Structure 1
Amino acid sequence: MNGKGFATVIHFIKKEFQQLKRDPKMFAIVLAAPVLQTIILGYAATFDVNNVDFYLLDRDRSSSSRKYVEKIVNSGYFTMKGAGENYDEVENAIMNGNAAMGLIIPRDFEKDIENNTGAKVQVLLDGSDGNKGSIAFGYVQAITADYAKNILLGKIERNGIRSPLKSVNAETRIWYNPELKTRVFMVPGITALLLMIITTLLTSLAIVKEKEFGTLEQLIVTPIKPWQMILGKILPFTILGFIMILLVNSVMVFWFGIPIRGRALFFLFASLLFILSTLGIGLFISTISKTQQQAMMVTVFGVMMPMIYLSGFVFPIENMPKIIQYITYIIPLKYFITIIRGVILKGIGITELWRETLILASMGISILFLASKRFNKRLE
């Protein structure tokens, strides 16, 4: 690239930023929207179950049953919405959505505990939300097991047995996300998701906008070479992409308290490789779209939605059918999310992620090259 060609590209970049500056709404969308979306999605995109409403039917009404219910309520995971007099009231509460769980304590609950005959309780769960139901069931099992353990230890002490019963205890250590918060897992993925949306959508819309206003034809008849035009179009959105990364990661670190454990330089390098893919996709969409509305529809429904579903951002790829798993191999977002979560949560780098980095680089260069060739052909 000679000095004159470089100066032309610089003028193009300045023109793009001036156009962005003249449109305050677009400027706000590019800079402010990712920050707000990170905060909102950071709280909304979570599968943690911190509160389960339940309806109680206590047919025993004994001291033991009250202590059991108190243990469930005091766990912090359950809120008692009411107490019924019969089974139908519990069933109706779950059916109407007033409670996600029903707890039925049968008669002779305390008597069965004292006689060592094995006391039972019935738990009814709303299985329409399978994730919430399974987690709530796990909470109940853990609370019930602890309640039974305390009863057993109390009987041992009352019977004068000094040495407690020995058992096998598993000592669990949780790495990378000790509190098992879904937010810690989701927020890094949100960073990748927003980067894809901003760079792909803006690239496709900016070029199609030139078509609609007739300025693209005016640029074609000038001495500007196609590669200068392409470079002048994609570099501004590359810069905007990195600005967005810095803003969103600042929110992640200082708002949500999720540190970047790995090397920031490798993180930025992987981001650049991913941006090559998204810019190439946006450039390709601009060649097949005649209006901004058409470009937006193709971007959202033809690119973003499949990438979100098939990248592992929300749904584990391992749980998908084999044929769908094979399709995920061509999704650039899949590899970038793997890299970004590895760097941020585990502190690993290119030594462990070289395969994903190589694939992402190959896809980024190939997609951008092919899209540029097609765009160049359309200009000619």
Structure 2
Amino acid sequence: MKETILKFKYMITPILMLFIIGIGGAIVLALEFSAHSLSQIPTIIVDHDNSLLSQSFVRELRTNSTFNIVAYSQIDNDVKDLIDKGDIAVGFIIPKNFSKDLTDGKNPNIMVVYDGAQMAMTASSKTKIAQILGTIKSAYLINVAEDQLGLMPEVAKNYINPIGYNYRLIGNPTQNMFNFFIPGFSINTIQVGMIIVVILLIKKVIAIKKYGLKVLWLDFWDQLVFLLYL
């Protein structure tokens, strides 16, 4: 038995590398995606209006767990600069006279800038932004109906939002997209480990045939350096 183990000693390190790379890669992925769902997306606010309405919008963003407002500014270019630096993933630019234009029926627009290199954050933030804007729009229209038509708040609400809906996610209630990524990442990591093992074994067999059994006694660190060299 001992002779058999010594005969195939050169296979021990490559096999250990396979387990180290596979298990180590899985642990790294698990730590990286342990939060399951995206939250605290770094965000910048550029508010040129500073009205009660724009401050209400900013307050909704600040209290939403999806966004983490890391900077406020009055300069539009700061959004692009911070995205280029990787400091933020989403930026909001609220135009001047936003509240006044809304009251006058001029349909003002809030500019939302996304980091295209972080599509997971972009997809998650788009959903939350639509929900926040929908809530603010409904509140504004209810106020208009109350003031202009003299309707009671509950009646105005039913006119503005005549159809209610609820949704329930089956199988993925946290909307965790990383559950679908990790199996592919893990398989890819294991494949890389298997390729490295095969290369090591092939090179070791060639070395044995060329130089004899003395190459079997390469210690662990020699083989690790050889692996890094590959």
Normalised by the size of structure 2, how large is the TM-score?
0.66
Matched residue of 2:138: which SS? helix
Relative to structure 1, the CA distance from residue 64 to residue 200 in structure 2 (aligned partners, 3 Å threshold; closer, same or farther) is same
Query: What do the CA deviations read for 1:63-114 (whole angstroms, capped 9, x no partner)?
Result: 2211100111221222223222343444544455443333222233333444
2:122 equivalent to 1:127: no
Query: Quick check: which one's helix share is greater?
Result: 1
Query: Residue 44 of structure 2: which of 50, 55, 69 is its match?
Result: 55
**Equivalent pair of 2:48/2:94 in contact (CA under 8 Å):** yes
d(CA) in 1 for partners of 2:190, 2:117: 34
> When the two structures are aligned, how many residues end up with a matched partner?
209
5 Å matches for 1:1-380?
Answer: 15=5, 19=9, 28-44=16-32, 49-115=38-104, 117-129=106-118, 132-133=121-122, 135-156=124-145, 159-160=151-152, 162-163=154-155, 164-165=158-159, 166-169=161-164, 171-214=166-209
Query: What do the CA deviations read for 1:170-229 (whole angstroms, capped 9, x no partner)?
Result: 5444343332213311232244334433444324432431231239999xxxxxxxxxxx
Q: State the AA in 2 paired with 1:37.
A: G
Q: State the AA in 2 paired with 1:187.
A: I
d(CA) in 2 for partners of 1:216, 1:170: 75
Once superposed, what is the RMSD of the aligned Cα atoms? 4.1
Relative to structure 1, the CA distance from residue 210 to residue 203 in structure 2 (aligned partners, 3 Å threshold; closer, same or farther) is same
Query: Quick check: which one's strand share is greater?
Result: 2
- Unpaired segments ≥5 residues, structure 2: 214-225
Query: What do the CA deviations read for 1:238-291 (whole angstroms, capped 9, x no partner)?
Result: xxxxxxxxxxxxxxxxxxxxxxxxxxxxxxxxxxxxxxxxxxxxxxxxxxxxxx
- Unpaired segments ≥5 residues, structure 1: 1-10, 219-292, 298-380
Cα offset for 1:19?
1.7
Relative to structure 1, the CA distance from residue 90 to residue 152 in structure 2 (aligned partners, 3 Å threshold; closer, same or farther) is same
Relative to structure 1, the CA distance from residue 156 to residue 114 in structure 2 (aligned partners, 3 Å threshold; closer, same or farther) is same
d(CA) in 2 for partners of 1:70, 1:129: 24
Matched residue of 2:112: which SS? strand
d(CA) in 2 for partners of 1:181, 1:45: 10
Asked which structure has the greater RCO (Cα within 8 Å, sep 6+), the reply is 2
Q: Percent identity?
A: 16
Normalised by the size of structure 1, how large is the TM-score?
0.44
Cα offset for 1:138?
4.1
d(CA) in 2 for partners of 1:85, 1:192: 47
d(CA) in 2 for partners of 1:199, 1:89: 46
User: Could you tell me which residue of structure 2 aligns to residue 364 of structure 1?
Assistant: none
Matched residue of 1:82: which SS? strand
**Equivalent pair of 2:15/2:197 in contact (CA under 8 Å):** no
Matched residue of 1:81: which SS? strand
